Amino acid sequence: MTEKHTQGPTHTVDGEPVLNFLRRHLAGDFLLWSPNIQSEAFLNWDRIWASRTIEAGEARPFGAGDAVTDNYTFESRGHTLTLDGLMEKEYLSGLLVIKDGDIRLERYARGLDVDRPWQSSSMVKSLASILVGAAIHDGFLSGVEERIVDHLPELKGTPYDDVRIVDLLQMASGIDWVENTDDLTTDVADHYIKQIAAREPGYVLDYLSTRGRANPVGTQFYYNTGDTLLLSYILSRVTGKSVAEYCSDRFWKPMGCENDGFFMLESDDGQEVIGSCCGATLRDYARWGTLMLADGVAADGQRILPEGWVAESTAASAPNFAFDFGGERAVASEGESAIQGYGYLWWVMGNGDYAALGSYGQWIFISPDNNTVVVMLGAIPRHPYMTPEELEIHGDSSHLGSVMRSDFAKAVSAKVQL
């Protein structure tokens, strides 16, 4: 007897295609994902959201230096920890140490491998900073003092009138916006993530144009992911290319990235989202750091960034820096933190070190004095999914990663133990 199979419905009862329905709800609720979903979804980000490929060219592989041994240990909060302990306690999917241009340590877990991209969370903001610097070097922008309404006339007559590119880079536009990913009614959740998940063309730009002012422009750091989308519009308008194409031409190919990457889009075939969740492989994330260590000169010898841009963009220049995981203005979160300031979409870690950081444990830590880049990718669960023991480690970090990460990065940068 032949078994009969019936095809499921292609549309919901409201007439929406089932695939759209599933994507919209899965993506829109990603702040609530359980650990059962996180890792696989981070590996399949470009299948859930609208995306555009960043094309790679000829690969320029890293060299291989003396390896960090499996019995490497480091100190954190009075404990001696191993690499296995770091991978487990920080929920790592990838760990890479590049020192003097060579791979010294490379580990994979949670389904990630050398050729597969993993979503970046907010680390991509630091790539946006690189692309702004490239646009200045290429003459598309005169500098960071340009007013954004000169490129976004649809924002004229709004509180963005006096906002400059530098204010967006320093998170100091002063626009009324609430950034708290633990509250699903805030601007970043309700008027950014959910709308991008629903692939609503132009929604975020239109919404930003309605916002009021919370602080005078250029006077107070306040983390605002929505503002970074404005930089995407500016980049594509001044270069005459999609941001993905410009990034491919001025970063991915000159740096010899080994695999294609991707940007998430705000809608089908829409604008690149350069403040959240691009995709790249572990090694290609490291190339963001190696470009910075080379003062903006790419692997093929091209100068990509203006001379002095690296130092300027990684200085703690954001005004009245105070970062609160709960979204309060001019308030610093309690708990131990390695973050000391903010530059042009780069976190300043002290002692000349700086980092690109993203939720759920995405880190690119750069130590110029030690010529080292440390990349950590992961899937840190939301606090409700953690055990009491796990909360002891991560309770003060709001799913960004605990101080264990910075302790490891500083230790392995200063001295690679063989």
Residue 418 clears pLDDT 50, i.e. is over it: no
123: β partners: none
CB distance 271 to 174 below 8 Å:
no
Residue 2 clears pLDDT 60, i.e. is over it: no
Mean pLDDT of the chain: 94
CA distance 90 to 111: 16
Residue 336 clears pLDDT 80, i.e. is over it: no
Residue range 368-400, pLDDT digits in tens: 999 999 999 999 999 889 999 999 988 887 788
Q: What does residue 232 show for φ and ψ, rounded to 5 degrees?
A: -65, -45
Is the torsion defined by CA of 58, 254, 251, 111 positive or negative?
positive
Q: Which domains occur in the chain, in start order?
A: 38-44+60-319+336-414 (3.40.710.10)
From 17-21, 208-212, 283-287, 350-354, the region with the lowest mean pLDDT: 17-21
Confidence of residue 335 (pLDDT cuts 50, 70, 90): low
Tell me the whole-structure pTM to 2 decimals. Answer: 0.95
Burial of 29: CB neighbours in 10 Å, binned 0-12, 13-18, 19+: middle
More confident residue, 298 or 17: 298
CA distance 283 to 257: 8
Residue 129 clears pLDDT 90, i.e. is over it: yes
- State the pLDDT at residue 126: 98
- State the pLDDT at residue 9: 82
Q: Which of 418, 416, 411 is nearest to 80 (CA)?
A: 411
Residue range 273-287, pLDDT digits in tens: 999 999 999 999 999
213 Cα distance to chain centroid: 26
Residue range 161-181, pLDDT digits in tens: 999 999 999 999 999 999 998
- State the pLDDT at residue 101: 96
CA distance 185 to 27: 16
Q: Which of 371, 358, 374 is nearest to 106 (CA)?
A: 374
User: Which residues neighbour 62 within 8 Å (Cβ) at sequence distance 6 or greater?
Assistant: 98, 101, 102, 103, 283, 286
Q: Which of 155, 184, 186, 183 is nearest to 168 (CA)?
A: 155
